[in-house]
Amino acid sequence: MQVEVRSDGKVEISGYVNAIDRYSKELYGSKGKFIEKVAPTVFQRALEKARNVDMLLNHDVRRKLASIEEGTLALKEDNIGLHARAVISDTEVIEEARCGNLKGWSFGFRALSDSWEDDGSVAKRTLEDIDLMEVSLLTIEPAYIATSVQVRSEDMEQRCIRDKPNGKESEEEIEKQRSLVATKVWLLKNVLFS
């Protein structure tokens, strides 16, 4: 992710929300633990169907940062994955960027078609068709591995990789991820699609 703090006070953010055909970290759902990946052309087809996609902060619908409809967000799938470019003016996000607290991207979706494999160790899910609901900037660890963050301004450049050095997370981080996933599932079932 590249974050450029502009002289007009706005922030331009660009980068890959998700790389296609690459597995996530372990996730937890109704079928237990699993990893997932997005098949090629899934995002392209989702964008062709979508009237609008919003960019949120940490999947919070109350924290809309940009949108396709407003012309402040552009999304496109290429041979790497889903690429985003947005111009935002939210002062909290600008401060998070300056402090190096933006940790990556995520996306909210409704699965229309998927396939599962289970080799006995961990279930593997492939998303084959989705409705793309939103993309999010995160101040929490993303579900997909190797998210890089760059912050640039006229007087500052900072780069950092937000992977765990040993590839492991604390129980507290895992519990936070489980809670976040459970909250998203509840919201999707009980609020957005009820």
Which pair of tokens denotes residue 85?
A: 């470019």
User: Who has greater pLDDT, 160 or 29?
Assistant: 29
> What pLDDT score was predicted for residue 153?
36
Cβ(136)–Cβ(108) under 8 Å? yes
Question: For residue 46, how many other CB atoms are within 10 A of its CB?
Answer: 24
> What pLDDT score was predicted for residue 104?
86
* Euclidean distance between CA atoms 45 and 24, whole angstroms: 21
Strand-pair category, 81-88 with 2-5:
unpaired
User: Who has greater pLDDT, 158 or 114?
Assistant: 114
> What pLDDT score was predicted for residue 188?
52
Q: Which of 177, 192, 135, 157 is nearest to 33 (CA)?
A: 177
> What pLDDT score was predicted for residue 26?
86
> What pLDDT score was predicted for residue 1?
76
- Gap between the terminal Cα atoms of the chain: 34
pLDDT digits (tens, 9 = 90+) for 47-90: 999 999 999 999 999 999 999 999 999 999 999 999 999 999 99
pLDDT above 80 for 172: no
Q: Which of 149, 129, 127, 128 is nearest to 138 (CA)?
A: 149
Question: For residue 100, how many other CB atoms are within 10 A of its CB?
Answer: 16
pTM of this prediction? Answer: 0.72
In this prediction, residues 148-171 reach a mean pLDDT of 38
What CATH number labels 2-21+40-119+129-167? 3.20.16.10
Which pair of tokens denotes residue 136?
A: 């999010």
Question: Residue 53 to residues 102, 124, 146, 158, 176: CA-CA distances in angstroms?
Answer: 20, 27, 24, 29, 26
> What pLDDT score was predicted for residue 152?
34
> What pLDDT score was predicted for residue 95?
84
> What pLDDT score was predicted for residue 181?
55
pLDDT digits (tens, 9 = 90+) for 94-105: 888 878 888 889
Query: Is 193 exposed, middle or buried, given 0-12, 13-18 or 19+ CB atoms closer than 10 A?
Result: exposed
Phi, psi (degrees; rounded to nearest 5) at 9: 90, -10
Phi, psi (degrees; rounded to nearest 5) at 17: -70, -40
Query: Is 174 exposed, middle or buried, given 0-12, 13-18 or 19+ CB atoms closer than 10 A?
Result: middle
> What pLDDT score was predicted for residue 41?
98
Q: Chain-wide mean pLDDT for the chain?
A: 79
Q: Which of 26-30, 76-80, 184-188 has the lowest mean pLDDT?
A: 184-188
**C-alpha atoms less than 13 angstroms from C-alpha of 94 in its C-beta half-sphere:** 14
